[in-house]
Amino acid sequence: MDSRTRSLSLAALSIASIALAFALGRRSARPSPTPAQSAAQIAPVDPAELCPHATRFVLAADVARLRAAPTLAPVLATLTADERSCSAKVTRKVRRLLAFARDATLDDLAFVFEGSLTRDELVTCMREGRPGARTSRYREVELVQTSDDRAENLLPRRDHTEVASLPGGLLIAGPSSAVRAMIDRAALPPAAASGSMPAALKALTDRLDAGYAFAMASLIKPRVGQWSSVLANVEGIAVGVRPDESLRVEALLACGDFDAPRALAQGLTRARDDVASQPEASPIRAMLEGVTVERRASDVRVTARIDGDDVARLLLIARAMASDADERPVALEASGDGGAGRD
């Protein structure tokens, strides 16, 4: 296993073997639009009810709770290091964040922000302060179209990204088709708008324990390099993160047939042990060895606990991978005892 592969595997397994597949389907038929309504006539809605039909990926984050978690302090320090950056503004002013996607390339990834972040702040941030954003209207809701040229990947790099405000302190942003689909959802009567999440996706999220501050679910079959054979029979993935004294990470891999969980659990266990045995893993070996892989009737559950020091070490791994993973092994240097003597 070369250094780049070990580095990638290490980071992947460190968050319970799963953040492997934030990928996701295609727009399909949705209910016929109701007569055009003005923005004032669109009543406030629960952000979850904006989920477009045919959604195959959903992410929900209680940003206020994550922001208050001591174990996430290293991550938040990185996000807010530049007070003028988009990530700093979003982290400070958003209480809740949702994201939806239907396409496997994530080209149609769309966001719902709930909090005190304003539309103009988000647009200015995305356009790096340049004037001249174009406006249009859809169902009498004003849309601001931003350019694709920006330094930060707050949204996927795609032309015709639009931002709009909805009643109730909501901001929606994403490709034009996704934003307009969410406005269609907001314009529906409450009875028609409820329960918009596809049944298969909801069934997947319902398998997670309650109380997570971050949850993600995807119905896309993961295809991730050397992991593809291990994950071949995975039909859906759900991940939950609870920031208590340590981060509790739970990953659920739903399988397509009755025999698949056994082979999947064996493959994940071997991968965990292989990564933990690598020299680069020594600072977080105790954490990796604590990752549990549980085979059940139709799925496999992977759980891990990550303390604050390990979060800092994982951040170093991510930085090293992003900066130079192709040319050199990841060197881990972090304060503390490197995992020695841990209970």
Q: How confident is the model at residue 271 (pLDDT cuts 50, 70, 90)?
A: confident
Concatenated DSSP letters of 210-275: S--SEEEEE-SPP--GGGTTTTTTEEEEEEEEEESSSEEEEEEEEESSTTHHHHHHHHHHHHHHHH
Instruction: Say whether pLDDT at 303 is over 90.
Output: yes
297 and 256 assigned to the same domain = yes
Which range among 7-16, 89-98, 190-199, 235-244 shows the weakest confidence by mean pLDDT? 7-16
Q: How far apart are the first and last CA of the chain?
A: 30
Residues 279 and 163 in one domain: no
Mean pLDDT, to the nearest integer, of 193-200?
64
Question: Does 215 map to a domain?
Answer: no
Q: How far apart are CA 195 and CA 173, in angstroms?
A: 21
pLDDT of 177 above 80 = yes
Alpha carbons within 13 A on the beta-carbon side of 267? 17
Residues in the chain, overall count: 343
- 191 or 137: which leads in pLDDT: 137
d(CA 97, CA 112): 6
- At 103-148, the pLDDT tens digits run 877 788 999 999 998 888 888 777 765 666 788 899 889 999 875 5
3-state secondary structure of 285: helix
CB of 272 within 8 A of CB of 12? no
pLDDT over threshold 70, residue 327: no
pLDDT score recorded for residue 6: 43
Asked if 166 and 272 sit in the same domain, the reply is no
Answer whether 27's CB lies under 8 Å from 292's CB: no
Largest CA distance in the chain: 66
Among the ranges given (167-171, 263-267, 289-293, 331-335), the one the predictor scored with the smallest mean pLDDT: 331-335
Tell me which of 177 and 201 has the higher pLDDT.
177
Q: Output the CA angle 86-88-89, nearest 5 degrees.
A: 65
Residues 60 and 165 in one domain: yes
CA dihedral 171, 175, 180, 181 (to 10 degrees): -100
**In this structure, are 189 and 242 located in the same domain?**
no
Instruction: Classify residue 48: in a domain, yes or no.
Output: yes
**Residue 270 burial (CB count, 10 A):** 12
Q: Which of 193, 212, 245 is the last residue before a domain boundary? A: 193
pLDDT of residue 130: 61
Other Cβ atoms closer than 10 A to 340? 10
The predicted model scores a pTM of 0.72
The total domain count for the chain is 2
Model confidence pLDDT, tens digit, residues 222-233: 766 666 677 888
Q: What is the pLDDT of residue 89?
A: 78
Helix/strand/coil for 110: strand
Note whether 169 and 287 are same-domain residues.
no
**Considering only 14-18, 65-69, 287-291, which range has the smallest mean pLDDT?**
14-18
Query: Could you give phi then psi for residue 172, rounded to 5 degrees?
Result: -120, 145
Cα–Cα distance, 323 to 304 (Å, whole number): 27
* DSSP string of 187-200, one letter each residue: HS-HHHHTT-S-HH
pLDDT on residue 8: 36
Residue 186 forms part of a structural domain: yes
Tens of pLDDT, residues 37-75: 444 467 677 888 888 878 889 999 999 999 888 888 878
Pick 33 or 205 by higher pLDDT: 205
Please report whether residue 285 resides in a domain: yes
Residue 245 sits at φ, ψ, to 5 deg, of -65, -30
CB count in 10 Å sphere of residue 302: 24
Do 226 and 310 share a structural domain?
yes
Q: Looking at the domain assignment, is residue 28 inside a domain? A: no
Contact (CB, 8 A) for 51 and 246? no
Asked if 149 and 158 count as a contact pair (C-beta separation under 8 A), the reply is no
> Residue 343 falls within a domain, yes or no?
no
Rg, Å, the chain Cα set: 21
Report the pLDDT value the prediction gives residue 310, as an integer from 0 to 100. Answer: 85
Domain match, 184 and 46 both = yes
Residue 294's DSSP bridge partners are: 301
Report how far residue 139's alpha carbon sits from residue 230's, in angstroms, rounded to the nearest whole number.
47
- Whether 55 is in a domain gets the answer yes
**What confidence score (pLDDT) does residue 280 get?**
81
Residue 24 pLDDT more than 60? no
Looking at residue 122, its pLDDT comes to 86
Task: Indicate if 182 and 282 belong to the same structural domain.
Answer: no
Residue 3, pLDDT score? 46
Does 214 fall in a domain?
Answer: no
* 133 and 91 inside one domain: yes
Mean pLDDT of the chain: 74
* Alpha helices per DSSP H over the chain: 3-14, 63-67, 73-79, 86-93, 119-126, 176-187, 190-193, 199-206, 260-276, 285-289, 308-324
- The model's confidence at residue 196, banded by pLDDT at 50, 70 and 90, is low
Share of the chain above pLDDT 90, in %: 23
Q: Amino acid identity, residue 284?
A: I
The pair of structure tokens assigned to 46 is 């629960």
Of residues 39 and 247, the one with the higher pLDDT is: 247
Give yes or no: residues 160 and 72 share one domain.
yes
Same domain flag for 180 and 49: yes
Which residue range is the domain that position 91 belongs to?
Answer: 42-193
